[in-house]
Structure 1
Amino acid sequence: MATLWSAVALITIAIVISALYRQGAERSFNHLLHAQLFNVINSITIGDDGNLNGSPELGDLKFSQPATGFYWLVEPLGSFASVRLTSTSLGVNSLPVPSVAEIPFDENYERFYELRDYAGNRLRVDETEVVLDNSDQAARFRVTGNLNELEGEIARFERRLYIALAVFGIVGLALNAFGILSGLRPLKDAKQALERIRAGAANELEGNFPREILPLVNEVNALIDSNRRIVDRARMQVGNLAHSLKTPIAVLINEARTLPPEQGQLVRSQTDAMQAQVTSYLNRARIAAQQGSVLARCEVAPVLERMVRVMRKLNPATEFTLHIDPPGLMLALEAQDLEETVGNLLENAARYAEGRVSVSAVAEGSQEPAADGTRRHLVMVTVEDDGPGLEPHQAAEAMKRGRRLDETRPGSGLGLSIVKEISLEYQGSFELDRSRMGGLRARLLLPGVTRETQRG
């Protein structure tokens, strides 16, 4: 708005100054013609022979050069029989003078009008009539000036004025832009500091900020610290709850061993289901507590490499392959949640695989940038095996809580439902379909964070 107002002001100033200069120049031009007219009047008399006599000296060579547009002319009126007198510049030529009826004299018996001479010059004429002697013999006096020269002078002034104002405006615009960019630079620094926090490269806004935005920086740091304390408190409460439930569940499991086999098996299966459900709901509570945290970040490669290494030791007869693209891929979730989801999938794959299990994490298409400028994308984590696989209706049934398609193998039937719940808590997705290896393919779509946000 300041720049727009400056531009409007400069244009207005240019128009006003041009108009004022034109008015002043035309007024000065008319005054000059008026002065020259009376100089001619004072120089003309009636001679002894009864004719007009005199040779005005107006101090301008243009009145002595032909076709310049600067002329003076004296013509007798009425019965006054005399030859007319003209300047050398006009010679024997005449001017197309309008009648008095068209342009009358003013109260000073003087009139101004414009016309074109024989050379095509645009003229301004100052005319009056004067009685020269006591016999009432009168003559009409005219002095002309070339308006083309006046317009040329005005045009030269306007050109210099516009150039000066344009230079002033460009310099002012550059200074204005510099001031705006310099003034907003601290906000850009704050934005980059926020991006570093979202990327996990910093824990608070760091840098030297001016006092104008320092209160904002302090409030954001206080909000981040409050967020961190809420997450820590939630984790502590989850840990306390898990610890308080651990002992009663262990007691129930031990007591189940003393019961008759049929009853003991029933108690143990229900206790296992209870333990799995407690773990599931505790995880959901923990994830919900930290879901809005800007500090939930983990790198994919170390977590998956560690899990695949463990699975290779536990299943030496199975071949495990791992593929991550691009290197340094990061997810916007806690490492332990990634371990739990992929761990469940790896256990299922290893349990049913005939010899091969494949794990991959690949960056998918970028999402729209967030409001703070952070660039987000999605990561597809895939676990495949070469086992028997599942039909589509079986895959949907397997993800229901507590449902087991194979009762002959150990498990609570909660693993896949836990994976689905964790992925949904992080606004991702989970699906099962047929693998290219012939078995089951589990696909997790999770939110990722690009490392570009760590620059600066």
Structure 2
Amino acid sequence: MFKVKSLTLRVLLFATLWYVIALVTMALVISALYRTGAERSFNDLLRAQLYNVVNSVSVGDGESLVGSPALGDLRFSQPGTGWYWLVEPLGSFNAAPLASTSLGLTNLPVPSFEESPFDQNYERFYGMTDSFGNRLRVAETEVILDESGRAARFRVSGNLKVVEDEITAFSRRLYAVLVAFGFGGLLVNAVTVVLGLKPLDRARRALERIRGGEAEKIEGEFPREIEPLANEINALIESNRRIVERARMQVGNLAHSLKTPIAVLLNEARAVHAPHDEVIKVQASAMQSQVSSYLNRARIAAQRDSILSRTEVEPVLERLVRVMRKLNPEKQFELHMEGTGLTLAMESQDFEETLGNLLENAARYSEHLVTVTARLAPAGEVGVDPSRKAWLEIIVEDDGPGLAPDQIGEALKRGRRLDESKPGTGLGLSIVKEITSEYQGKLGLSRGVSGGLLARLVLPAVSRDIA
């Protein structure tokens, strides 16, 4: 089912739907009422003409019908117009019928009383079609003409095209007015909705500035309905800030409290004679490594997805590349930034440690060249959580010997060194993998175009489209 995410668009769609339904309903109701009124007026006109004929016709000498109704309408004298009057004797009254000039030699059929009965005024109205194809409305009554009881049927018909043309003309004018009114109402409604929801848009932009690191809280004045929401968000941000600071302080205190005992163990291990010294050294070093790893995880977990964790990518990469050039003057380092203003949703020190390990590893095994490329990539392209809109892809490639597919898994294990001739602890890539995983990112190793190792790092970025 299609869902509209924009509140403004949603309100406008519902308002438009209501306007359309209301206007269509109004048009149908008004048209129906006008048609009823027009048909009633038409019946009244036919009734008036009917009794005009009744008053104009009588029984003359020789028991014949005489009279010349003056209805004041030329259509009763023009053939085929659908406007006719007809007087027919009833019962034993054998006089010749009287008819309007427009009827000519034709006749109008008489429906049965079951099909169209008389009302309490001894009148009836019914429809029919004449020989010219005109749709007629007929008014009929029966009247006793004299004291002898001689009676006649009086009928007057009118062409319904008059009523239909009048209703059509009225409907066109009505629809034009309602359409103009509808567009005007929708325009006014749209302006009202946009202006009414503008404070929400300001609140959204304020949140964008917070997520972008441009502000620390929602600022500005808001209507009474939105102000509590802004205050609650500010309170949540402040609470989050205190939680992060408290987590940092606790992690630091724990690190300091463990650093001294571990250092004592390592010093005492040097005084212990073989073969126990090596065992103590290995275990104490492992303890130190595990403590450091889990402290980093706790710190990252406290900061992950926090609006306070923001790092500008380009300055950090330029600084790291500059340091690597000084440390490795015999090798070339190239930095390619695809886009400007790239920002990571992670701590600067975690990003520096991650990229620093990758660059150190690339510099150690490269022959001459190390290339670093950074760009924004949608989640669908990098194979990570699609709920986050933006991810940063960083590729570090060297021209060294590279790794075989079966060596890649071993290289990511903590403490494993595939080349014992090179200096190092074997912790670099495993640290990169751990930090990346804590930020719900991804680290991939493969063979590059030049044959060396290609490290593809995916980290959460601050989306440029936060709405």
| Shorter-chain TM-score tier | 0.7 to 0.9
How far residue 296 of structure 1 moved from its aligned partner, in angstroms, is: 1.8
* Matched residue, 2:339: 326
Cα separation, 2, equivalents of 1:373 and 1:255? 51
The answer to which of 421-430 and 243-252 deviates more is 243-252
Q: 1:56 to 1:336 in 2, by over 3 A?
A: same
Which of 199, 216, 221 is equivalent to 2:212?
199
Cα separation, 2, equivalents of 1:84 and 1:136? 17
- Matches of residues 377-388 of structure 1 in structure 2 within 5 Å? 377-386=391-400, 388=401
Q: 1:143 to 1:303 in 2, by over 3 A?
A: same
**Secondary structure at the residue paired with 2:248?**
helix
Q: 1:295 to 1:51 in 2, by over 3 A?
A: same
2:391, 2:458 within 8 Å by CA — same for their partners in 1? Answer: no
1:364, 1:380 within 8 Å by CA — same for their partners in 2? Answer: no
* Matched residue, 1:413: 426
* Matched residue, 1:27: 40
Which of 75, 94, 101 is equivalent to 2:106?
94
Q: Is 1:215 aligned to residue 196 of structure 2?
A: no
How far residue 373 of structure 1 moved from its aligned partner, in angstroms, is: 9.5
1:332, 1:449 within 8 Å by CA — same for their partners in 2? Answer: yes
How far residue 147 of structure 1 moved from its aligned partner, in angstroms, is: 1.9
Q: 1:96 to 1:230 in 2, by over 3 A?
A: same
Q: 1:324 to 1:103 in 2, by over 3 A?
A: closer
Q: 1:76 to 1:358 in 2, by over 3 A?
A: closer
How far residue 371 of structure 1 moved from its aligned partner, in angstroms, is: 12
Q: Kindly provide the amino acid, as one letter, of the partner of residue 107 in structure 2.
A: L
How far residue 375 of structure 1 moved from its aligned partner, in angstroms, is: 3.3
RMSD across aligned positions (CA): 3.5
Q: Which has the higher contact order (CA 8 A, sep 6+)?
A: 1
Q: Kindly provide the amino acid, as one letter, of the partner of residue 400 in structure 1.
A: K
Q: Kindly provide the amino acid, as one letter, of the partner of residue 133 in structure 1.
A: D
How far residue 203 of structure 1 moved from its aligned partner, in angstroms, is: 2.2
How far residue 336 of structure 1 moved from its aligned partner, in angstroms, is: 0.7
- Matches of residues 108-119 of structure 1 in structure 2 within 5 Å? 108-119=121-132
How far residue 428 of structure 1 moved from its aligned partner, in angstroms, is: 1.6
Give the TM-score normalised by the residue count of structure 2: 0.82
* Matched residue, 1:430: 443
Q: Is 1:310 aligned to residue 323 of structure 2?
A: yes
* Matched residue, 2:241: 228
Q: 1:330 to 1:93 in 2, by over 3 A?
A: same
Q: 1:11 to 1:209 in 2, by over 3 A?
A: same
Q: 1:354 to 1:134 in 2, by over 3 A?
A: closer
2:378, 2:390 within 8 Å by CA — same for their partners in 1? Answer: no
2:379, 2:386 within 8 Å by CA — same for their partners in 1? Answer: no
How far residue 233 of structure 1 moved from its aligned partner, in angstroms, is: 1.6
For 1:343-364, what per-residue CA distance to the aligned partner results, in whole angstroms no more than 9, with x for missing partners? 2233333334444433333444
Which of 166, 176, 185 is equivalent to 2:198?
185
Cα separation, 2, equivalents of 1:132 and 1:276? 126
How far residue 48 of structure 1 moved from its aligned partner, in angstroms, is: 4.7
Q: Is 1:375 aligned to residue 386 of structure 2?
A: no
How far residue 59 of structure 1 moved from its aligned partner, in angstroms, is: 3.5
How far residue 273 of structure 1 moved from its aligned partner, in angstroms, is: 4.7
Cα separation, 2, equivalents of 1:69 and 1:42? 22
1:384, 1:442 within 8 Å by CA — same for their partners in 2? Answer: no
How far residue 220 of structure 1 moved from its aligned partner, in angstroms, is: 1.5
Q: Kindly provide the amino acid, as one letter, of the partner of residue 94 in structure 1.
A: T
Q: How many matched pairs?
A: 451
**Unpaired segments ≥5 residues, structure 1:** none
* Matched residue, 1:240: 253
* Matched residue, 1:400: 413
1:341, 1:419 within 8 Å by CA — same for their partners in 2? Answer: yes
Q: Kindly provide the amino acid, as one letter, of the partner of residue 391 in structure 2.
A: H
1:301, 1:324 within 8 Å by CA — same for their partners in 2? Answer: yes
- Matches of residues 14-413 of structure 1 in structure 2 within 5 Å? 14-48=27-61, 50-78=63-91, 80=93, 82-90=95-103, 92-98=104-110, 105=118, 108-249=121-262, 272-367=285-380, 375-386=389-400, 388-407=401-420, 410-413=423-426
Q: Kindly provide the amino acid, as one letter, of the partner of residue 357 in structure 1.
A: V
How far residue 178 of structure 1 moved from its aligned partner, in angstroms, is: 3.6
